[in-house]
Amino acid sequence: MTFKTSLFNKALILSNLKRYWWVSALYTLALMAYIPFSHLMKAMGMEVQNITWIQDTIDRMLSFSQDDVQAILICTVPVLMAVLIFRYLQVDKSAVMMHSLPIKRSSHYASHCLAGFVLLIIPALLNSLIMILLDYFTVLGSFYTLPKIFTWLGLNIFFCLFFYSIAVLVGMFTGSSVAQIVFTYIIQILPIGIYVLLKFSLEQLLFGFGEAPYSLFIEDNYPLFLLFNSAFLRNPHMVGWLLAYILTAAAFLILGWFVYKHRRLETAGDIIAFPALYPAFKYGMTFCLMLVGGTYFCGASRQSLPMLILGYVIASALGYFVAEVLIHKSFRVLHLYKGYLYYALVIVILLGGLSLDVSGFVKQVPSPEEVEKVYFGYNYNDWFYFEKEKNPEFLESRYQDSGYFEDNPPILLESQENIAGVIELQKHLIKERKREAGSSRYIIYTLKNGDYILRQYNINEADQSDAAFLKPIYESLEYKKLKFPAMRLVPEDIKLMSVEDDRSGKRPVNLTGTKDIRELTELLKNETIKMSYEDMTSSRDSYMRVSVLENNKRNEQNILVQSSFTSLLNWLKDKGYYDQFALHLEDIESVELEKAEDRAYFDNAATPSPVTINEREVIEELLNIDPSTNYISNDVIARFNVRNHVWSKRVSLEAGVSAKLKGYFAELEEDN
């Protein structure tokens, strides 16, 4: 017997092909209906104007980008195939029969694997063949090209192989087909799940704990995510990358072979085929469920710590005993409580250590001399790729925005004052330990010795005590330069500036003259420098804005004009531009009031008739009133009718208003 014939058993391969050809056939038909034939239909029914649209759709399908139907097929069919092909191993009867045949385990494994793989690639090959024929003989010739077809074939086989190899490997470790399916998907989302859940728990337990909200690494490297976000298309090293994955898939298959050789036949039907892995499965499940339970209970109860602990206890006990039930295939598992107690002991010690802050994590604040710079912003990934990885291009390519960092420089503060300011702010936050209001923001120090200290806090700009610490930072030139695009404008680079007012319904005024542009940029800068903390954090809507189009940029920059920008507004008035675009009181014909909740609950048709106001002074009052930011209270929507245009704003019923306006509000109440 030669090596080849003994490794691949022809009879086994043929019998597999005979038994499971129908999966292949169905998959072929599904692909055929979804790809070549639907393309043919589209192409035959095309009209001139949607040629580019058809081309675009076809290209996207053939390159697997944003194509959920194909993605779902790819992540289910190979798994199903692996389950069917290795089904014999998971059922006692068939495992016994197959292994009593004079065939070695290596040969069993290799033959079954190969048969499944052949069944998986035949549909892709057939469909490629059909596409090639269509390419030559039908209108699709103008949409298909051979490279595109072969790319599709390659990617299809590649993904099939990958999912197949994972499912096969998982199948070797378990003795049940259901478990094989479940584990195949679980291990793919497990890393990201654990990441998110662990982060949530640590955030609750360690004040100030911060990490990336999700992991780009997992998202860009895990097959299931890859398939759905098609990140590989953006990968600059695609060939090397594909090769690495093919090698990984091969490694999985080889590992599967090794596991198969050591697998015991009597484990058919067990959830885990290797008793040595029971503890890993048991405690893994306990831990994961603990995290899920904690997150669920704590999230549902608005981040209360006792609920987190309660969630931990309930869910971990559940996880532990369910795992035991699955392992022992019996419900009589309560006597195994000891293992759970050990687990609980370890967790209590860990949690105790965390909440007592044994490592000093919560209180750790660097001294200003140690710090080189500090990131004080909202976006972890910005910091990570810009500052830590020093690879901003990666993020830009991922965002498909090559000027991303130029337009949004990360807020990395380097001046002595600001570093000291942030440190003081952090000390204040640690002392106060508020969690509730505000928005979550990162404070990430780059230390002179090369280390990083990463924290994340909820900071409330409206809170008086927080504001006292924020004010010096916000008002510093360094912060403003990073924060406001107006500070970075260079008049020479500007092609066009335009000023507009959303409320007025008037067309924007375009400024192209170099003098105007120079003066306006200068004014914008000065106004920004003058902006106070209160202006910067005010909740007042800004309706006026300057749009700037720069020479070598695709996108416009929008700069809001605040009401505090008096000299800028005066300049616009002096030049006569203001009247052309801005809203004037006289422009408003009437205002209609309506309760905000009505809009939420009824269709427009069913809305009760609004209260209409025509009195000038009341309209003026409404125009200048601060909009409501509190979306819970029963607000009023004020709809301003401006010639051929309508805009509206939310006003709080509780706002300090004149008697007249109060009267209108009362009318609104009565109506309902």
Partner 1 sequence: MIEAQKLTKSFGNYKVLEDLNLKVKKASVYGLLGPNGAGKTTLIKHLTGLYRQDQGIVTIDDQPVYENSQVKGQMIYIPDDLYFFSQASIEETAKFYAKIYPDWNWNRYEQLKQVFPIDSKRRVVKLSKGMQKQVAFWLGISSMPKVMILDEPVDGLDPVMRKKVWSLILQDVAERQVSVLVSSHNLRELEDVCDHIGILHKGKIVVERELDDMKSDVHKFQLGFAGDIPEGFLVGPEVLHRTQTGSILLLIARGDKNELLQRMKSANPVILDVLPLTLEEIFIYELGGMGYDIQNIII
Residues in contact with partner 1 by the rule CB under 8 A? 9-11, 15, 18-19, 91-94, 96-97, 99-105, 107, 264-266, 275
d(CA 191, CA 511): 53
Identify the DSSP state of 648: E
Helical axes 616-624 vs 659-671, angle rounded to 10°: 90
Angle 588-594-600 from CA coordinates, rounded to 5° = 130
Shortest Å, Cβ 174 to partner 1: 17
- H helices present in 138-277, as ranges: 146-173, 177-205, 216-221, 223-229, 238-262
CA 289 remoteness from chain centre: 23
Distances in Å between the alpha carbon of 141 and those of 55, 101, 312, 464, 572? 11, 51, 60, 68, 58
Nearer to partner 1 by Cβ, of 109 and 565: the residue is 109
Residue in the structure block whose two tokens are 């036949």: 265
CB of 340 to partner 1, least distance (A): 20
Tell me the closest approach of the beta carbon of residue 161 to partner 1, in angstroms. 26
Q: Which is nearer to partner 1, 22 or 602 (CB)?
A: 22
- In the complex, minimum distance from the CB of residue 175 to partner 1, in angstroms, rounded to a whole number: 13
In the complex with partner 1, the residue whose CB is nearer, 252 or 260, is 260
Q: Which residues, 6 or more positions from 473, have their beta carbon under 8 angstroms from its beta carbon?
A: 376, 413, 418, 421, 422, 425, 479
Residue 185 or 278: the one with the smaller Cβ distance to partner 1 is 278
Q: Are strands 635-642 and 544-550 parallel, antiparallel or unpaired?
A: unpaired
Smallest separation, CB 121 to partner 1 (Å): 23
Nearest residue (CB) to partner 1, 8 versus 665: 8
Judged by beta carbon, residue 11 or residue 280, the one nearer partner 1 is 11
Distances, alpha carbon 145 to alpha carbons 34, 59, 99, 158, 605, in Å: 18, 10, 48, 20, 53
Q: How far is the CB of 80 from partner 1 (least distance, A)?
A: 17
Contact 637, 599 (CB under 8 A): yes
Based on CB atoms, which residue is closest to partner 1, 107 or 537? Answer: 107
Instruction: Classify residue 303 as left (phi > 0), alpha (psi -120 to 50) or beta.
Output: left
Question: CB of 102: closest distance to partner 1 in angstroms?
Answer: 4
**What are φ and ψ of residue 403, in 5° steps?**
-105, 20
Nearer Cβ to partner 1 (95/511): 95
Beta bridge partners of residue 595, listed in sequence order: 636
We find the least distance from the C-beta atom of residue 98 to partner 1, in angstroms, to be 8
